[in-house]
Amino acid sequence: MFVHGIGGVRDAERERRDWLTALAAGARAAGHADVVSGLTQGWLAETRFADYSDLFTDDQAQGDASDALDEAQDAAFMTALVEALVDEVEQQAAERGDRRTLVVAADARAQLPGGGAGDGTDDEQGAGELFRVLGGVLTTLLQAPGLRGCAQWASGVPLLGDLSQVGRYLRRRERDGGGRTLDARIRERVLRGTDPGRPLIVVSHSLGTVVAFEALRGYGGRVPLLMTLGSPLATGAAVLQRLVPQPPRTPDRVERWLNFWDRDDIVVGRPRVERWMLPAASGVLPVTEQVDSDGLWVHTATKYLRHAAVAGPLVEALKA
């Protein structure tokens, strides 16, 4: 099962094929050329793309990305999330001795509400103004040498709009006519059609890693492999401390958890998820590995799946 992340409305059938095609390329690079035809043809029917993207644009959804900042709680969340991304870029640059990125991160930090030293809110700023300020922070951050590859976002404003979906999921509101919150409807959509009597391999990306993590906490079937790509799961108070359950722990049905991140992926904060997660009852913890992508669009799931390091263990789990 594939679980997508932030972004616009999806064409589930097209994306399912795109993810499988990328996985086939990664499998070939990993020395599994024997399964390439199966990935693009035979296994297609066995693979489900769990699409919940329309739930962010239905009648319960807000009409504009900046509307997600209408309340103080949402404003505080988005400010904390953006500040956490600045922190992570700055920390990674310091570890690499990357002075150019440190200068960019310092410039971005200076633009944060309160100069990055407050509680994440500013009572004098309305939602629209705060959205503009945070978009400017991200626009500056995207000028860092590695992050210029995040070409899927022309500036920080569309990136902030996509990131606001993380906040909307985690605030656990936006109830439908039956009283179900947005996050509950998303998890229900993801698990719809799964058969607990059959092993389930989950490949999740971006916000989808948060969704999959929470959806699997009550899942009754075997999960031989959970794979998280470009995950914001461990992003401090903005995400980590809002997960359910608390303190966060590996879902008990997960038998193996592989987490991959690209250092130029701006959405990933605190990439080493295992440092912030308790083990499952069986002792399973995430195992994190870094991959380095060339060119543009580093935050896409297909970019990750084309890596031999990602595709190899996934194909081995499918063969098992």
Give the mean model confidence (pLDDT) for residues 104-126: 71
> Is the same domain home to 184 and 307?
yes
| Amino acid 75: pLDDT | 81
| Amino acid 204: pLDDT | 98
Task: Identify whether the C-beta of residue 27 lies closer than 8 Å to the C-beta of residue 311.
Answer: yes
Exposed e or buried b for every residue in 196-207, given b needs 16+ CB within 10 A?
eeeebbbbbbbb
Q: What six digits make up the tokens of 220?
A: 């009754």
| Amino acid 119: pLDDT | 45
Tell whether 175 is covered by a domain.
no
> Is the same domain home to 260 and 189?
yes
> Is the same domain home to 111 and 233?
no
> Mean pLDDT across the chain, nearest whole number?
85
For residue 63, name the pLDDT band (cuts at 50, 70, 90). very low
End residue of a domain, out of 170, 199, 218: 170
Q: What six digits make up the tokens of 141?
A: 């951050």
For residue 245, whether the previous peptide bond is cis, meaning omega lies within 30 degrees of 0, is yes
For residue 120, name the pLDDT band (cuts at 50, 70, 90). very low
More confident residue, 288 or 95: 288
> Is the same domain home to 51 and 78?
no
Confidence check: pLDDT of 132 > 50:
yes
Its sign, for the CA torsion 166, 8, 185, 271, is negative
> Which among 94-98, 119-123, 280-284, 294-298 has the top mean pLDDT?
280-284
| Amino acid 131: pLDDT | 85
User: Lowest-confidence range among 74-78, 168-172, 270-274?
Assistant: 74-78
CATH number of the domain that residue 18 is part of = 3.40.50
More confident residue, 309 or 119: 309
End residue of a domain, out of 151, 170, 189: 170
Tens-digit pLDDT profile for residues 173-191: 888 899 999 999 999 999 9
For residue 263, name the pLDDT band (cuts at 50, 70, 90). confident
> Is the same domain home to 19 and 138?
no
Tell whether 195 is covered by a domain.
yes
Nearest to 231, CA basis, from 202, 190, 254, 198: 202
Confidence check: pLDDT of 116 > 90:
no
For residue 118, name the pLDDT band (cuts at 50, 70, 90). very low
187-193: long-range pairs with CB below 8 Å, 24+ = 187/211, 187/214, 187/215, 189/50, 189/51, 189/52, 189/55, 190/1, 190/3, 190/50, 190/52, 190/215, 191/215, 191/219, 192/50, 193/48
End residue of a domain, out of 108, 141, 170: 170
Tell whether 115 is covered by a domain.
yes
Give the mean model confidence (pLDDT) for residues 72-80: 80
> Is the same domain home to 156 and 304?
no
Q: What six digits make up the tokens of 291?
A: 């991959």
Helix (H, G, I), strand (E, B) or coil at 289: strand
Contacts of residue 246, defined as CB under 8 A and 6 or more positions apart, other chains included, come to none
Confidence check: pLDDT of 54 > 70:
yes
> Is the same domain home to 166 and 184?
no
Helix (H, G, I), strand (E, B) or coil at 283: coil
| Amino acid 68: pLDDT | 47
> Is the same domain home to 263 and 217?
yes
Give the mean model confidence (pLDDT) for residues 63-81: 65
Tell whether 60 is covered by a domain.
no
Give the mean model confidence (pLDDT) for residues 301-314: 94
Range(s) of the domain holding residue 275: 2-55+180-319
> Is the same domain home to 305 and 254?
yes
For residue 294, name the pLDDT band (cuts at 50, 70, 90). low
Helix (H, G, I), strand (E, B) or coil at 3: strand
Tens-digit pLDDT profile for residues 11-28: 999 999 999 999 999 999
| Amino acid 143: pLDDT | 84
Q: How many domains does the chain have?
A: 2
> Is the same domain home to 190 and 306?
yes
> Is the same domain home to 100 and 149?
yes
> Is the same domain home to 118 and 34?
no
